[in-house]
Structure formats: structure tokens, C-alpha cells
Amino acid sequence: MRPVIGVTSMEMAVPDFSPVYKTNQNYIHAIREAGGIPVMLPAIGAEYAAEYAAGIDGLLLPGGADVNPLLYKEEPVRQVTEMHRDNDQFEFALIREMVRLGRPILGVCRGLQVLNVALGGNLWQDIPSQIEGSISHCQSYDIRSELTHWVNVDRDSLLFQVLGTDRLAVNTFHHQAARVLGKGLRAVGRASDGVVEALESEDGKLLAVQWHPECLYDKYPVFEELFRWLVQKAGQGNDR
């Protein structure tokens, strides 16, 4: 039986239409191509997290809005303008339940950030204004498959095993980044300015990247390996 991979989705307003729960198609297609069964998980409340987690073998945390700074005990800087606290709390609960069950998680962009905060870390709220000398981490959304900066990967990491390289060019669409790391996490990829670009857990069940492999895997096969890792890891621990 193919592993079932939950993909969280966020409620959003659509002009002249009822509100919808949104997950970009690229995530769904990437999981399917890696051999998994993608299932969208609408953020209907943190109290549903345990039941969701019980029904999936792995979890993909996609990109999206900023994590509400109040959830890591900070006031927002001026550049933080789009937040969805209910969605944050739903994902926090889901992450913690998946960790309790020992099931794998792959985080992408915001997914890295929400994973870090859920496990007790915090964030740089706005890279350009808070990190002196930072490079550009937010390219145009019109060129989502363009590679725009380098990431250096630790050779003693799970990420290196998955990608098979210690340096690769990536796309980038973020203005926040992990600052203080959450419990059990370590930084295994960084940009040239020192910004954390990848995290993983000590037990090898959590992996998160700051770039968007779902926009790259069909053009650059190395990025598909991240989704293959999630699906294969989920299949190994399928005890539902």
C-alpha cells in the first residue's frame, strides 16, 4: 500500500467566491510522482490534529504566510503583515503529534519556520532589516523555477545523504528564517550570508528546507529526492 502523505492547507479568501482551503498543486504532484498518496488536511482546528496524524504516514508542511510572532513571544516588526494564528496553532499541534508518533515530516519554506517554532525555536522576522549584509532571499514569483543563490550542505547530514551534494543552487521566496533552533533540531544548510537554509532532527525523521523544491523537481531531478525521502521514510514506518 502506498504511503499516505498529509499536506496541510490554509483557509484563504477568494474575491467574489466563498473562502477556500488552499494547497498549491505542485506539492500534490510532487508527492504523487515520488510514489505517495497526497491528502489535503484543512486547518479546521488544533483539536483535530491527533485524528489527522493517526490517518497519515508522513506530513508535508508547505510554504505560506508568516508565523505569528506572538507564538514565540515577540511583537511583529513592520514587515510582518500576513499571519494566520489559527493555522499556526493547528500545524503546531499536528507537528507535535507526528513527532510523538515517530512519523516523518518534510517542511518547505514556511514549513521549516513553523516546524522550528513548534519545537521551541524562534525566527528572524525580516532578513533584510535584521541581518546586516544579507543576500536576496526573495526572488520574483514569476520565475519560480529559477536558481538564484547557493546553499552549502553539511557533509555529515541526512540532507547530504538525500541530495548527494554539499553545495547546490536553489530558488528562494522568503523574508524570514530560523534564528534560535527548536529542540532536537540542527542547521545543516546555510546560504553564504549565514542564513539557515535547512534543518533536520537528530533522529532523522524531520527534514526541512527553506527553498521550494516543488517548483524545481521536474526540471532538476535532485530536488525530487526530498519528496522521495519523505515517501520512503513514511512507508518504512507504516503502522497504521
| Active site (catalytic) residues | 109, 212, 214
Of residues 94, 15, 104, the one with CA closest to residue 57: 104
CA distances from 109 to 54, 62, 63, 79, 175 (A): 25, 7, 5, 17, 10
DSSP label of 69:
G
Are residues 185 and 201 in contact, defined by beta-carbon separation less than 8 angstroms?
yes
Q: Which amino acid is at 4?
A: V
Q: What is the CA radius of gyration of the chain?
A: 17
Are residues 66 and 77 in contact, defined by beta-carbon separation less than 8 angstroms?
no
The DSSP bridge pattern shows strands 4-14 and 37-42 to be parallel
Of residues 224, 187, 194, the one with CA closest to residue 32: 224
| Count helices and strands in the chain by DSSP H and E runs | 7, 12
Distance, in Å, from the CA atom of 208 to the CA atom of 219, rounded to the nearest integer, reads 20
- Residues making up the chain, counted from first to last: 240
